[in-house]
Amino acid sequence: MPFTSSLRHFKFRILLLIVTVNIFICQTAFTQDKLVPYNLSVNLLLNTEQTYLNGFLSSAPLNESLLRNENFQFVEISMNKPFFGWNIHSDLQNTIQNSYRILVSSNIDSLRKGKGDLWDTGKVLSDESLNILYGGKPLEPDKVYFWKVQIGDNHGNESSFSEPSHFKTAKNLQDYSTDRYPLQKQDEKPISIDQTNKNSYFIDFGKAAFGRIRITLYSENTNDTITIHLGEDQRNGHVNRNPQGSIRYSRYQIIPKNGCHTYIVTIKPDKRNTGSQAILMPDYIGEVTPFRYCEIENYAHKLTNSDISRETVNYSFNESDSYFHSSDTILNQVWELSKYSIKATSFTGVYIDGDRERIPYEADALINQLSHYCVAREYSLARYTHEYLINHPTWPTEWILQSVLIAWEDYLYTGNKLSLEKYYEDLKAKTLTSLSDESGLISTRTGKVNKEVLSSIHFNGQLRDIVDWPHDGEIDSYEFTDINTVVNAFHYQALTIMTKIATLLNKTDDSNYYKAQAQRLKKSFNEKLFDKKIGLYIDGIGSKHSSLHANMFPLAFGLVDDKNITSIMKFIHSKDMACSVYGSQFLLEGIYNAGDADYGLKLLTSTTDRSWYNMIRSGSTVTMEAWDNKYKSNQDWNHAWGAAPANLIPRKLMGIEPIESGFKKIRIKPQPSMLKYAEIKHPTIQGDVYVKFTNDPGKTFALEINIPANTTAVVYLPYYSKNQRVTLNDKPIKFTKDGNFAVVDNISSGKSTLKVN
């Protein structure tokens, strides 16, 4: 070969090598960029560097805001050893983190140079990306700290470090505490302003929200008196001045000064919802009231959209965290109503019952908690409310027991057991085992509720069974006896969960005890409270009456023997929605747990006066306390315990629930009934879960899923016959049969398509 030809060949090979190396470097850099951790969190909170000014998001950096003489708010981390977390992005299938390195520094410059002067974990071989407890030099109070993280994965990739995040410690540091975001304000403009006569305007903000009005008025003298009406309801183009019950209406007057000025309509405190037990609004927010409509009278000048704003308040809420859409328009409206209700009612920074009292209750908190998890990536509000209720319990027996349920859901959705450890002894007391008899059944009416019992649950009052609320009309003629079926169904659930908690915390003796108590109770429950002749549960020992409640709660909590489910379900069908909006949470849980998707969808999309659609039809844009005004004389139109579909649609209809804590493993078990199509984005602490199905009932079913890195899933598909074909990404796959479902386990992270035909 001539020298020149050989040289050209050599140069070509060198060039090819350079190109190959560059491509490899670019691909590696691209993979690293894609793998970079995001959603960095401290104590479950994202964006801990964010500042607020009088409730409004601020552009001021955290460090700078501490030096300025203005009313800033920010997250304050109050634990001596906070815990860190992050999410992992990957376009590759089956991505699992296999290492991490965290740097924590006292200044940003050191961190940017790759130095953690407070904590450098080094490369830790672990798949844990949540709840990493700080292990560096002691943190000081009232200081800002900076951190970042780098990870590696099972594909051999190593990420770049994340963008730096930072947080401020509180002035007083503790071993354990739950931190929260500041409350957040935003200005909202009307969707319409109608001039009703020469000097009057009717304004609609589209949805009710808690807030107050800011308005710019012009006056040529100081003799005008402008009247402003605010309310949740309207009649014939006017704010309803005499709404029923606790539906809100208020009237204010402004005497404008000469010229053009902007006024804040300050809200008058309400005696009942600003009492000793109520959650009060912080000074930087001020008092608020719920309203959708505003009516202005005696204003002789032009009023435009730029002249009026509603200053709305709520807890931190990202609208884009979730969505749901289906082929059923009513179901879509019910979802939107319920999702918005969770946002709108978060205005105190604690889950409360509604505007009438603004008091936290356990029953409200459980429904609020489950729904909040499903519509937003938010865990602090549920945990804070739960821990508040540990020491501020309310009077119903079943709601004391619900503290145990709330505690377990907190662990399942966060993967963090610190709260369980902190309140373990309190949770043991909240199982109310001290009220049990020799058969394991409990009662509040047999003389066992004494000072010691009340002290152990931090309650100073009379413990009473509730079943449902209000008693007038919502309890399906339930007969109260000494041994109450509903109370003992809750007691069984609390014992079952307490067994899991004790096992998790390595309390072996306690675990064995609660397991034995649960087994004994289940046996006694079915022997003494189930009437074999009619195939139903009675309301209590000594009762001959069978209510919806006496049957739906055992069904929801797994007390019903398989052989009796058919008779129970037949009875439940005959009752329709003979429970309150609170009870509907457990009714639908039981129905979907029994696999009756047809009846579940029927109730979710019902248009009777006992339905979520009726709330919309009645004019409310936030879920009501009761199905209709006629069912509760003092009902309010801003009660999040009515927002159960916000969790029932994702958890039961779409079937997305954690099997392992912190969503390490996910169950996806859609129960579509006759729905032809549905899709959902569900936030989790690991990242977003996407599920979409198309359904030709009884013939074909296609399911598209996308689950986060560091997770796996078990998927339930329809079982048509033993001859059906199931494919995963167009390749045949084996499945196991579980009732009416074909089950495919160990689906890896990333996108997958499963089909049945």
Q: Which residue has the higher pLDDT, 5 or 317?
A: 317
Q: In this structure, are 597 and 561 located in the same domain? A: no
| Cβ atoms within 10 Å of 593's Cβ, excluding its own | 16
The answer as to whether 660 is a domain residue is: no
The answer as to whether 179 is a domain residue is: no
CB 636 within 8 A of CB 247: yes
Mean pLDDT of the chain: 95
Residue 63, H or E segment: helix 62-65
DSSP 8-state class, residue 127: -
Question: Which CATH number does the domain housing residue 747 bear?
Answer: 2.60.420.10
- Last residue in a domain, options 604, 627, 653: 653
Question: Which CATH number does the domain housing residue 431 bear?
Answer: 1.50.10.10
Reported as a single tens digit per residue, the pLDDT across 193-207 is 999 999 999 999 999
Q: How confident is the model at residue 582 (pLDDT cuts 50, 70, 90)?
A: very high
* Mean pLDDT of the region 150-157: 97
Reported as a single tens digit per residue, the pLDDT across 44-71 is 999 999 999 999 999 999 999 999 999 9
Name every residue whose Cβ is closer than 8 Å to that of residue 570 and which is 6 or more positions away in sequence: none
Q: How confident is the model at residue 16 (pLDDT cuts 50, 70, 90)?
A: very low
The residues that bridge with 715 in the sheet, in sequence order, are 668, 744
Helix axes 485-504, 548-556, angle to 10 degrees: 10
The answer as to whether 7 is a domain residue is: no
Reported as a single tens digit per residue, the pLDDT across 173-183 is 999 999 999 99
Reported as a single tens digit per residue, the pLDDT across 279-332 is 999 999 999 999 999 999 999 999 999 999 999 999 999 999 999 999 999 999
Q: Is the pLDDT of residue 14 over 70?
A: no
DSSP strand E in 141-223: where? 144-153, 165-174, 184-188, 192-197, 200-219
* Mean pLDDT of the region 617-637: 97
| Residue 431 φ/ψ region, left for φ over 0, alpha for ψ in the -120 to 50 degree band, beta for the rest | alpha
* Mean pLDDT of the region 508-527: 98
Both tokens assigned to 4? 């020149």
Q: In this structure, are 188 and 214 located in the same domain? A: yes
How many angstroms separate the CA atoms of 699 and 275, rounded? 59
Q: Which pLDDT score is estimated for 13?
A: 53
How many angstroms separate the CA atoms of 324 and 691, rounded? 10
Look-up of token digits 């119903």 = 396
Reported as a single tens digit per residue, the pLDDT across 401-418 is 999 999 999 999 999 999
Q: In this structure, are 467 and 563 located in the same domain? A: yes
Q: Is the pLDDT of residue 5 over 80?
A: no
User: What percent of the chain lies above the pLDDT cut of 90?
Assistant: 94
How many angstroms separate the CA atoms of 122 and 149, rounded? 10
The answer as to whether 711 is a domain residue is: yes
Helix axes 380-391, 397-414, angle to 10 degrees: 150
The answer as to whether 442 is a domain residue is: yes
Q: How confident is the model at residue 90 (pLDDT cuts 50, 70, 90)?
A: confident
Q: How confident is the model at residue 9 (pLDDT cuts 50, 70, 90)?
A: low
Residue 39, H or E segment: strand 38-42
Q: In this structure, are 445 and 481 located in the same domain? A: yes
Q: In this structure, are 160 and 52 located in the same domain? A: yes
Q: Which pLDDT score is estimated for 20?
A: 41
Q: How confident is the model at residue 17 (pLDDT cuts 50, 70, 90)?
A: very low
Q: How confident is the model at residue 509 (pLDDT cuts 50, 70, 90)?
A: very high
Q: Is the pLDDT of residue 490 over 60?
A: yes
Q: In this structure, are 433 and 361 located in the same domain? A: no
Both tokens assigned to 1? 């070969």
Point out the least confidently predicted range of 7-21, 122-136, 354-368, 464-478.
7-21
Q: How confident is the model at residue 91 (pLDDT cuts 50, 70, 90)?
A: confident
Of 417, 367, 357, the closest CA to residue 392 belongs to 357
Give me the amino acid identity at 149.
V
Q: In this structure, are 387 and 397 located in the same domain? A: no
Reported as a single tens digit per residue, the pLDDT across 94-118 is 999 999 999 999 999 999 999 999 9
Task: Looking at 392-476, list the stretches that DSSP marks H as alpha helix, in order from N- to C-terminal side.
Answer: 397-414, 418-422, 424-430, 451-456, 471-474
Q: Which pLDDT score is estimated for 15?
A: 47
Domain that holds residue 733: 666-756
Backbone angles phi, psi at 284, to 5 degrees: -70, -10
Question: Which CATH number does the domain housing residue 54 bear?
Answer: 2.60.40.10
Q: In this structure, are 404 and 383 located in the same domain? A: no
Q: In this structure, are 159 and 203 located in the same domain? A: no
* Mean pLDDT of the region 675-694: 98
Look-up of token digits 């066992």 = 448
Q: Which pLDDT score is estimated for 22?
A: 45
Q: How confident is the model at residue 25 (pLDDT cuts 50, 70, 90)?
A: very low
Q: In this structure, are 250 and 148 located in the same domain? A: no
The answer as to whether 4 is a domain residue is: no
Q: Which pLDDT score is estimated for 221?
A: 85
- Last residue in a domain, options 553, 575, 597: 575
Name every residue whose Cβ is closer than 8 Å to that of residue 584 and which is 6 or more positions away in sequence: 577, 603, 644
Q: Is the pLDDT of residue 8 over 90?
A: no
The burial class, CB within 10 Å (0-12 / 13-18 / 19+), for 474 is buried
Q: In this structure, are 130 and 42 located in the same domain? A: yes
Q: Is the pLDDT of residue 347 over 70?
A: yes
User: What percent of the chain lies above the pLDDT cut of 70?
Assistant: 96
CB 483 within 8 A of CB 443: yes
The answer as to whether 35 is a domain residue is: yes
Q: Is the pLDDT of residue 19 over 50?
A: no
- Work out how many domains the chain is built from and give that number: 5
Reported as a single tens digit per residue, the pLDDT across 212-235 is 999 999 999 878 899 999 999 999
* Mean pLDDT of the region 29-41: 77
Of 543, 578, 551, 553, the closest CA to residue 494 belongs to 553
How many angstroms separate the CA atoms of 465 and 537, rounded? 18
Give me the amino acid identity at 392.
H
Q: Which pLDDT score is estimated for 28?
A: 41
Q: Which pLDDT score is estimated for 569?
A: 98
Q: Is the pLDDT of residue 21 over 80?
A: no
* Mean pLDDT of the region 690-718: 97
- Last residue in a domain, options 314, 345, 375: 314
* Mean pLDDT of the region 516-544: 98
Q: In this structure, are 562 and 595 located in the same domain? A: no
CB 653 within 8 A of CB 680: no
The answer as to whether 10 is a domain residue is: no
CB 748 within 8 A of CB 741: no
Q: Which pLDDT score is estimated for 18?
A: 43
